Chains A and B, each alone.
Chain A
Amino acid sequence: MHPDNIESKVNQQTDRIIRQALELETDDLRVERLQEYWQRQSHHIDRKRRNLLAASLIAASLVAVSMFFAQHELNDDKTPSVDDKLASAMNDSPAIESDSRPRKHEDYSPRLNGRQPTEYERILFAARTPHRLTAQRFNPATVEGLALSLTESTSSKVGEVLAAAGCSRRDAVDQLLELSRTSSQHELAFAALEKLVGVSGLGPLAQNSRDPEVRGALVSRLLEINTEVSIREFLSLVSDKLLREEALALIEQDTNPPIGQLFALLDDQEKKVRLAAAVTLGYLNGPDVTRQLIARVNEQPSKSTEAWLALLACRGEMADEFLAYAGRRPHLLGYYNNARVLWAQMTP
């Protein structure tokens, strides 16, 4: 065979192998998501541009109107102003004796420099008034009654129970959280809270609570419930940088952590949930968890990004040994590197 033909054949074969190695299926779901993103962003930018245009037009018209009035005032300078007319009229009228009797304050609404507040000022004052001013004071007996009524009522009747107790949903939540501090009423308070905000509402409550004790009780309750919804709520706390340490410390104390649920959530559709599950599993560590993670990574190295991250988060000897092994194996090294890069981004 001619040497040129041999060269060309070798090149063709090499090209074919490279093409096959770099072949990638288009992920239709991601493409669809990106199309939606593109449409959303373009609408957003169009709207922004329109708003900017409208704002500039309004500003221009305001400038024009103010210039018109300024011009008008200049023209009117020659004629006497309303104030001048009023002053001359007062000079002409007879003097009135001042009233020596004390003045009656019939209207107690706030006054500003002797004038009534405008509607806008009234709204502003109301908005700035702390809500707690109107909240009811904590009374264990009343709250216990409310908790009992809530636990016995159906979800549709919750509004009626609150109306009968004469307190808002927010006040009821605050008072039930207060009641949960009493060890004897802890269960009752949480059962009522779940009726009021649902299991999915416990996570946001923990996130918004400033009291570490209440937060701890809410997190423990989420772990105790141990359903997919409650574990998702727990993971939302792990995703929160400020609460992560606290949530992880609590799951570590749990005698029966939801390992199975966490492994299942490593395949969740939401990236945030997957990453939080990985961080939690890594934190839980332990030989069983590590063994399962290693098995998962070995089985499907390309589809186990989160399991890789969990292994990086593990602090055990077994995990360290496996990662050292992965660093020496070409078929694992690429994924290991990728996970390290992601991990470095997550933990700056």
Chain B
Amino acid sequence: MPQPIDRHLVDQLVVEHLPAALRVAQRWVGDADTAEDVMQEALCRVLRNWKSYRGEAAFSTWMMQIVVNVARDHYRQLRNSCELPLGLTDNAAEPIEHSSAAELGEQVRIAIDGLPNRQREVAMLKFGEGLETREIAEILNISDANVHACVHLIRKHIAKCLGHDYVEQD
């Protein structure tokens, strides 16, 4: 039977994975200050639940699951508290006209914001943090096939926005 983790090891692992977790939170909520708040809440949850970690998955995956859950709660709360303008989805379908790399980056970020939630989450973990399919599936609690399908849809959507001719891969 898996043994509970040692407390000092938890301290060490949390500090080690803090930068990546903060980046994920910041991509999720879009604002550095809010991301810090989200991280503080996530750290409190880690402190409350570290004894339940039995080492079945990597610690980084377990911690990232907590960060993602807190960020989701936060995002849901925001969506309930105010209605956002819907201009994004209209623009996202049209090819992006860009003049500089920075502007292109901004447009792609906006296009990603316009993706359905699940695809947006996969995009952030896959392309933002460069995580493996298995790890993304564990964090988001979905199947590997689901992750692959999301990646395919994200590429298709962004390629369309960029004006590339997207060709389906088997």
* Complex interface: chain B residues within 8 A of A340 (CB): 82, 84
Give the residue of A4, A26, A331 whose beta carbon is less than 8 angstroms from that of B22.
A26
Chain B interface size, as a band, is 35 or more
**1/0 per residue B32-45: CB within 8 Å of A?**
11111001100110
User: How far does the alpha carbon of A341 sit from the alpha carbon of B34 in the complex, in Å?
Assistant: 11
**Is the Cβ of A341 less than 8 Å from the Cβ of B39?**
no
How distant is the Cα of A24 from the Cα of B128 in the complex, in angstroms? 8
Q: A18 and B33 in contact (CB under 8 A), knowing A330-B110, A334-B110?
A: no
What separation, in Å, do the CA atoms of A24 and B129 have in the docked complex?
9
Least distance between B138 CB and chain A CB atoms (Å): 20
* B123 at interface by CB-CB < 8 Å: yes
Contacts of A334 in B (CB 8 A): 30, 106, 109-110, 113
Partner of B43, one of A14, A27, A34: A34
Residues of B within 8 A of A343 (CB): 82
Indicate whether B54 reaches chain A with its CB closer than 8 angstroms.
Answer: no
Would you give the 0/1 interface string for B143-166, flagging 1 where the beta carbon is closer than 8 Å to chain A? 000000000001100110010111
Closest CB of chain B to A163's CB: distance in Å?
Answer: 46
Whether A330 and B123, one on each chain, are in contact in the complex, defined by CB atoms closer than 8 angstroms, is no
The reply to whether A22 and B19 contact each other, CB–CB distance below 8 Å, is no
A22 touches B155 (CB 8 A): no
Q: Is the CB of A38 within 8 A of B112?
A: no
Candidate in B84, B155, B158, B166 with the most chain A CB atoms within 10 angstroms: B84
List chain B residues, Cβ under 8 A from A22: 27, 109, 112, 123-124, 127-128
Q: Is the CB of B85 within 8 A of A344?
A: no
Given A3-B167, A334-B30, A338-B30, residue A18 in contact with residue B85 (CB < 8 A):
no
Q: With an 8 A cutoff between CB atoms, is B132 at the interface? A: no
Structural contact, B105 and A21, CB atoms closer than 8 A? yes
Q: Is the CB of A341 within 8 A of B169?
A: no
Question: When chains A and B are docked, how far (Å) is the Cα of A176 from the Cα of B166?
Answer: 77
Contacts of A8 in B (CB 8 A): 169
Pairwise interchain contact B18-A38, C-beta atoms closer than 8 A: yes
B57 within 8 A of A: no
Say whether B164 contacts A27, CB under 8 Å.
no
Q: How far is the CA of A340 from the CA of B128 in the complex (A)?
A: 25
- Contact between A10 and B30 (Cβ–Cβ < 8 Å)? no
Given A15-B155, A18-B112, A38-B18: A271 and B33 within 8 A (CB)?
yes
In the bound complex, how far is the Cα of B37 from the Cα of A37, in angstroms? Answer: 11
Please name all residues of chain A whose beta carbon is closer than 8 Å to the beta carbon of B108 when the two chains form the complex: 17-18, 20-21
Cα(A171)–Cα(B31), bound, Å: 47
Q: A15-B127, A27-B22 are in contact. Are A21 and B27 (CB under 8 A)?
A: no
Please give me the residue from chain B that is nearest to A6 by CB atom.
Answer: B167
In the complex, what residues of B have CB within 8 A of residue A45's CB? 47
Total number of A residues with any Cβ neighbor in B under 8 Å? 49
Within 8 A of B (CB), among A13-37: 13-15, 17-24, 26-27, 30-31, 33-35, 37
Q: Is the CB of A344 within 8 A of B81?
A: yes
A274 closest partner in B (C-beta): B33
1/0 per position for A250-285, CB-CB distance to B under 8 A?
000000000000000000000100000000000000
Interface SS, B side: helix
Known contacts A37-B40, A334-B113; A341 and B82 CB within 8 A of each other: yes
B162 contacts A31, C-beta separation under 8 Å: no
Cα A17 to Cα B107 with chains together (Å): 11
Binary flags per residue of B106-120, CB closer than 8 Å to A gives 1, else 0: 111110110000000
B43 close to A341 (CB less than 8 A): no
Whole-angstrom CA separation of A20 from B109 in the bound complex: 10
With both chains docked as a complex, state the minimum distance between the C-beta of A116 and any C-beta of chain B, in angstroms.
50
In angstroms, Cα B168 to Cα A30, docked, is: 41
Q: How far is the CA of A191 from the CA of B93 in the complex (A)?
A: 65
In the docked arrangement, what's the CA distance between A35 and B47, Å?
A: 13
Please tell me if A7 contacts chain B, counting CB pairs below 8 Å. Answer: yes
Please determine whether A305 and B31 come into contact, CB atoms closer than 8 angstroms: yes
| Residues in A neighbouring B26, C-beta threshold 8 A | 24, 27
A-B contact pairs, 7 of them (CB 8 A): A10-B167, A11-B155, A21-B112, A24-B26, A38-B11, A38-B18, A340-B84
Q: Please list the residues of chain B having a beta carbon within 8 angstroms of any beta carbon in chain A.
A: 11, 14-15, 18-19, 22-23, 26-27, 30-36, 39-40, 43-44, 47, 78, 81-82, 84-85, 87-88, 91, 101, 103-110, 112-113, 123-124, 127-128, 130, 154-155, 158-159, 162, 164-169
Beyond A18-B158, A333-B110, list 17 extra A-B contacts (CB 8 Å): A3-B167, A10-B164, A17-B158, A18-B108, A21-B104, A21-B106, A21-B108, A22-B109, A22-B123, A330-B88, A330-B91, A330-B107, A334-B110, A334-B113, A336-B85, A341-B84, A344-B78
